[in-house]
Amino acid sequence: MQEQLKSVYVDTLIKQYIVQIVDRTRSHPDVYLGASPRGALALYRTTQARAAVHGRDYVIPDDVKALAPSTLAHRIIISPAARIKDINPESILEEMLSSTPVPGTKVKA
């Protein structure tokens, strides 16, 4: 089954979207330590699995959005100042997802 999941297509734009999200965890002001490349790979693989479960042989941005919080939240360490303000990894990821342009959409100027 794991080998079959690897055949689920992930477009280059979706790959870049995953990398952007993971990269933003490393530069967010409330994050002390962001997700590693292994976090990006985990998100990549879980999106393939979600697509297959939903009967698709391709990944869509909604797969990434649905799985990023649960896949990456435990992989980032919040700064002490953010902890004092009761900021959690999930809220940071939700903020990043809402502000990262989705592949195939136009950004309003």
- If one counts the domains in the chain, the total is 1
Show pLDDT as tens, one digit a residue, over the chain (109 residues).
Answer: 777 888 899 999 999 999 999 999 999 999 999 999 999 999 999 999 999 999 999 999 999 999 999 999 999 999 999 999 999 999 999 999 998 888 876 655 5
Task: Note whether residue 105 is domain-resident.
Answer: no
Asked whether the beta carbons of 30 and 94 are under 8 A apart, the reply is: no
Matching residue, tokens 């909604």: 62
DSSP string, 33-72: E---HHHHHHHHHHHHHHHHHTT-SB--HHHHHHHHHHHH
Pair 101, 14: CB distance under 8 Å: no
pTM score of the predicted model? 0.87
Residue 104 included in any domain: no
Q: Is 108 a member of any domain?
A: no
